[in-house]
Structure 1
Amino acid sequence: MPVIGGGAHILVFPYPAQGHMIPLLDLTHHLATLGLTVTVLVTPKNLSLLNPLLSKHPSSIKTLVLPFPTHPSLPAGVENAKDLTPKSAPAMMRALGELRQPLLQWFKSHPSPPIAIVSDMFLGWTHHLACQLGILRVVFSPSGAMALSVMYYLWRDLPKRNDPDDHSAMISFPKMPNSPIYPWYQLSGLYRSYIEGDPVSEFIKDGFRANMESWGLVINSFESLEKDYLDYLKNELGHDRVWTVGPLLDPSGPTERGGPGANWAGDIMTWLDSCKDHTVVYVCFGSQAVLTSEQMEALGLGLEKSGATFIWCIKEARGDAKCGVVPPGLEDLVAGRGRIVRGWAPQVSILSHRAVGAFLTHCGWNSVLEGLVAGVAMLAWPMGADQFVNATLLVEELKVAIRVCEGAESVPNSDELGRLVAQLVVDRNRVEMVRAMESSKAVLNAIKGGGSSFKDLDRLVMHLTKEASLRDKILDVEQKCSTMEFTDNHYKPIMHA
């Protein structure tokens, strides 16, 4: 990429959850490559996650390490959402708000402070900080445009249920493209836990509304994937400073995304080398979801009945013998055609291998984009957060996926699951397979030179560089004015001792 940033200084502030940090750090890599000077704000226990980035950009990326604030609802020493339940997200977001004062002090004492803050959508309070400092705030959305549209709609209009106990009450979004409708239980947990007047709830509501007021918006998506929702967002925000720069995964960037390298990772790739093209199903539900014993048994039985070759990545529960445990005897039953990985797996490398043809996923946005890049058909089992909206996009609009289950507590029918898995890897002419390959081409066109995401990334950097130049000129004029004495429309230099 050509260097166009001119060294303009920005602050990047990720939210400390894997699905949020990884894409924003990927964006940071791109911004530094294009010539911006970046300071990344992290808390001490997350500093090591920046090592690949710092080693690649030793001169253009620096760190600002601030102590993680305490909060009565958070366990002592916790600094990353992966160590918490989703119900702890409001407390995590509120705790991070306590960084406003130390961050303000850092800005005021810095000899060349950033001209903009690029911060995660869960850090909406940084908009108020940016206004106080007289600089720009750019929202980063690790979710797609459709999911973000739903979130903004919720926090702006605050729809309610007629019966507060009806978890299946349907909530409609008539002003959005395609007018989606979702049962209450499929809406954002942050929104469902909102209590009017509660200080933490009001802080989160204010944060999302501050996002809508911020100067710009960067989305980890690409134009042709979600054009209708991008147009909707621009109309709702009242400006076109909306940039789609995804998928942000860069083959030339850091490769250890979300986990350390492991010796056995090479064994998986060697095993995949021995498999036929497009015959392997990759199964993974992200970094946080832990399946119950009943779900594990149904899923394991479905994979066994499918007869398909598979890799199953499992997150095991800490201290809970009833969750995340492989059904007894399964590994013996599928020996030779099934590999089970406990903990982190090199997902990007697995999905991009020629042998993988399908992906059973929770529909987290990072996984969705990685699946689209790889051109694999998907089996959708959304469980929470933005995943139900993502599943709608994949299944009903893009038609690259089949919905196999819904909800964090649902248990799939093993017979039906086995049938769908078998069909997806056997029939290469299924519409989902064909559409997945077409979507892969669209993704690659977006991120290559001249593509929509490539151009939007350049435009974002040029906007920030222009703002930095304007600010420098203003400061230069102010400095000159401070050393001039104005008299009768003339001025002369003020002599200082």
Structure 2
Amino acid sequence: MAQEVPHKPHAILIPYPLQGHIIPAVHLAINLASRGFTITFINTHYIHHRIFKARPSIRPDIFLGIRQLGLDVRYTTVSDGLPLGLDRSLNHDQYMAALLHVFSAHVEDVVSQIVKSAGEKVDCLIADTFFVWPSKVAKKFGLLYISFWTEAALVFTLYYHMDLLRIHGHFASQDCREDPINYVPGVEEIKRQDMMSYLQETNTSSMSHQIIFKAFDDVKAADFVLCNTVEELEPKIIAALQAKKLFYAIGPIFPSGFTQSSVPTSLWPESDCTHWLNTKPPRSVLYVSFGSYAHVTNRDLMEIASGLLLSKVDFVWVLRPDIVSSDYANPLPVGFGEEAGDRLMIVPWCSQIKVLSHPAIGGFLSHCGWNSVLESIWNEVPLLCFPLLTDQFTNRKLVVDDWKMGINLCDKDSIVREEVSSNINRVMIGKSRDELRNRVKEVKRRLEDALTPEGSSENNMNKFVEDLMVKIKYQKVLLT
């Protein structure tokens, strides 16, 4: 049972303004509100504009339906410092520069307004770990700072120990060591090529690197860290982190009932694939999606498309208009749709949890974003892994090497259509398919167990609330 708190704490919650971070942040807000919290949720103007544009029928307040259920989640928006019309994905560096240098000033203004006008004391700030300013903003307004990490604990600890990686010559050097890394607390061993893409790069002067360095310096001042993972999936890593921080594994953060969220979060209009999927046999369709932000090279996309045709498998493909870049109106091979025929459904975007939960889905060709990994596990769908950037390479290692519930799209340096076709069939057909399904079922049991009333994630959430209330009470004593 969710533990209701005697005093009603008020938390300001600010997600990182990217699709994969907003989804778990919304579900965390609902989870905490169901435990008696007041939550003020702050989206950027741009993210709010995208959500509203994707579903014009929704009301401006995305949490209205939640409040009608009796949960106290308030909603407001803030500028990220850039014009609404700028495509953040295609202007990545400019976007990161605004989040690094400009965004905090806008956040301070809106937090100040909330603190002054809330009608009750605001107790804490919950902010995505990738922000560079939360500890400073929290301190300025006398708030406790809770850092919300939306990815795997392994990814967190590698960033947290960048100093060790640097000292040992595995990071930030023109001549980085290539031998396995075995000195990060809680991590038995990891290859350099399995670290996040930013830790594999020799040039560390980019905007993204500056954000990572500042964010993981800032998180050291956090009062608590919440992590969207499961203790039983990463026990040694979490234990090592808990020796340094108040670190709570509370995942997976899913909506109630899993298959749909009562709060709109999609940045694109969602196509309904249900009618087409209903015509297909159970576990016969491969779902293909490379997430909401990353881009694929035109060459790789052509090879993947050709491999899908060679495989003879039915597939539903989420093909964002900007998946390659704005220069390619149609990045697929000539005659692709005609050759695929009824085996294919292409949509620009869809509700991923709704598609993955459909009985026709038998595999997922994925970029290995953390939300996608968790959603695949929950639906017992094996993964065909094609990481593109950031944490996706590390998530691939967990999926393929550690949990053995997926395989690599290609084991060569370059994508080759014949290998794509062969590996699709390994996931979708025969003995290897059955082995992968059995493994993903075993991993799912750990997630299910963690969310039971006596499970690790539920216990950790209850412990976090208890520890937070003690700290809030202590702060009040200091102020009186």
**CA offsets, 1:315-338, max 9 Å, x none?**
222873437622221111111222
Partner in structure 1 of residue 10 of structure 2: 9
Partner in structure 2 of residue 398 of structure 1: 403
Q: Which moved more, 1:300-309 or 1:104-113?
A: 104-113
Which residue of 456, 459, 465 corresponds with 2:463?
459
- What is the CA–CA distance in structure 1 between the aligned matches of 2:30 and 2:461, rounded to whole Å? 12
User: Aligned-pair distance for 1:81?
Assistant: 4.5
> Which SS does the other structure have where 2:463 is aligned?
helix
**CA offsets, 1:179-234, max 9 Å, x none?**
21214995327976533xx9996665233112123111101111111112111222
Determine if the alignment matches structure 1 residue 149 to structure 2 residue 161: no
Partner in structure 2 of residue 494 of structure 1: none
2:133–2:215 contact (8 Å) kept in structure 1: yes
Partner in structure 1 of residue 449 of structure 2: 445
Amino acid at match of 2:438: V
**Count of equivalent residues:** 460
- What is the CA–CA distance in structure 1 between the aligned matches of 2:252 and 2:282, rounded to whole Å? 24
Partner in structure 2 of residue 18 of structure 1: 19
Determine if the alignment matches structure 1 residue 57 to structure 2 residue 67: yes
User: Aligned-pair distance for 1:47?
Assistant: 3.3
**CA offsets, 1:96-154, max 9 Å, x none?**
23335425633663443421111001114211222333331111111110111111122
Determine if the alignment matches structure 1 residue 135 to structure 2 residue 129: no
Matches within 5 A, 1:368-383: 368-383=373-388
Partner in structure 2 of residue 289 of structure 1: 294
- What is the CA–CA distance in structure 2 between the aligned matches of 1:380 and 1:288, rounded to whole Å? 17
2:79–2:103 contact (8 Å) kept in structure 1: no
Partner in structure 1 of residue 345 of structure 2: 339
Partner in structure 1 of residue 191 of structure 2: 181
1:14–1:24 contact (8 Å) kept in structure 2: yes
2:405–2:437 contact (8 Å) kept in structure 1: yes
Amino acid at match of 1:308: V
Partner in structure 1 of residue 57 of structure 2: none
Matches within 5 A, 1:150-165: 150-154=158-162, 158=166
Determine if the alignment matches structure 1 residue 214 to structure 2 residue 222: yes
> Which SS does the other structure have where 1:23 is aligned?
helix
> Which SS does the other structure have where 1:137 is aligned?
strand
Q: Percent identity?
A: 21
**CA offsets, 1:39-84, max 9 Å, x none?**
12233233354844332125611234333335xxxxx436885453
Partner in structure 1 of residue 56 of structure 2: none
> Which SS does the other structure have where 1:40 is aligned?
strand
2:145–2:223 contact (8 Å) kept in structure 1: yes
1:117–1:130 contact (8 Å) kept in structure 2: yes
- What is the CA–CA distance in structure 2 between the aligned matches of 1:218 and 1:185, rounded to whole Å? 22
> Which SS does the other structure have where 2:147 is aligned?
strand
Matches within 5 A, 1:9-48: 9-47=10-48
Matches within 5 A, 1:279-428: 279-317=284-322, 320-322=326-328, 325-341=331-347, 343-405=348-410, 411-427=414-430
2:180–2:189 contact (8 Å) kept in structure 1: no
Amino acid at match of 1:92: L
> Which SS does the other structure have where 1:383 is aligned?
coil
- Where does the alignment leave 5 or more consecutive residues of structure 2 unmatched? 52-59
- What is the CA–CA distance in structure 1 between the aligned matches of 2:63 and 2:33, rounded to whole Å? 10
The structure-2 alpha-carbon separation of the partners of 1:233 and 1:64, relative to structure 1 and needing over 3 Å to count, comes to: same
The structure-2 alpha-carbon separation of the partners of 1:44 and 1:321, relative to structure 1 and needing over 3 Å to count, comes to: closer
Normalising by structure 1, we get a TM-score of 0.83
C-alpha RMSD over aligned residues:
3.2
Determine if the alignment matches structure 1 residue 116 to structure 2 residue 124: yes
> Which SS does the other structure have where 1:62 is aligned?
strand
2:33–2:72 contact (8 Å) kept in structure 1: yes
1:155–1:205 contact (8 Å) kept in structure 2: no
**CA offsets, 1:5-51, max 9 Å, x none?**
34211111111111111111111111111110011223323335484
The structure-2 alpha-carbon separation of the partners of 1:31 and 1:323, relative to structure 1 and needing over 3 Å to count, comes to: same
> Which SS does the other structure have where 2:321 is aligned?
coil
Normalising by structure 2, we get a TM-score of 0.85
- What is the CA–CA distance in structure 1 between the aligned matches of 2:4 and 2:306, rounded to whole Å? 54
User: Aligned-pair distance for 1:354?
Assistant: 1.4
- Where does the alignment leave 5 or more consecutive residues of structure 1 unmatched? 71-75, 479-497
The structure-2 alpha-carbon separation of the partners of 1:81 and 1:230, relative to structure 1 and needing over 3 Å to count, comes to: farther
User: Aligned-pair distance for 1:385?
Assistant: 0.5
Amino acid at match of 1:187: S
**CA offsets, 1:328-385, max 9 Å, x none?**
21111111222111x2111111111111111111111111111111111111111111
> Which SS does the other structure have where 2:40 is aligned?
strand
The structure-2 alpha-carbon separation of the partners of 1:379 and 1:61, relative to structure 1 and needing over 3 Å to count, comes to: same
Amino acid at match of 1:175: V
The structure-2 alpha-carbon separation of the partners of 1:204 and 1:135, relative to structure 1 and needing over 3 Å to count, comes to: same
Determine if the alignment matches structure 1 residue 468 to structure 2 residue 467: no
1:167–1:185 contact (8 Å) kept in structure 2: no
Amino acid at match of 2:101: R
Partner in structure 2 of residue 431 of structure 1: 435
User: Aligned-pair distance for 1:455?
Assistant: 2.2
Determine if the alignment matches structure 1 residue 205 to structure 2 residue 206: no
1:121–1:211 contact (8 Å) kept in structure 2: yes
- What is the CA–CA distance in structure 1 between the aligned matches of 2:94 and 2:81, rounded to whole Å? 18
The structure-2 alpha-carbon separation of the partners of 1:334 and 1:66, relative to structure 1 and needing over 3 Å to count, comes to: closer
**CA offsets, 1:238-270, max 9 Å, x none?**
x4x2111211111354264424664x40xx212
The structure-2 alpha-carbon separation of the partners of 1:428 and 1:451, relative to structure 1 and needing over 3 Å to count, comes to: farther
User: Aligned-pair distance for 1:405?
Assistant: 3.6
2:287–2:365 contact (8 Å) kept in structure 1: yes
Which residue of 91, 94, 97 corresponds with 2:101?
94
The structure-2 alpha-carbon separation of the partners of 1:349 and 1:247, relative to structure 1 and needing over 3 Å to count, comes to: same
- What is the CA–CA distance in structure 2 between the aligned matches of 1:447 and 1:261, rounded to whole Å? 31
The structure-2 alpha-carbon separation of the partners of 1:356 and 1:19, relative to structure 1 and needing over 3 Å to count, comes to: same
Q: Which moved more, 1:44-53 or 1:301-310?
A: 44-53
The structure-2 alpha-carbon separation of the partners of 1:339 and 1:154, relative to structure 1 and needing over 3 Å to count, comes to: same
- What is the CA–CA distance in structure 2 between the aligned matches of 1:79 and 1:106, rounded to whole Å? 27
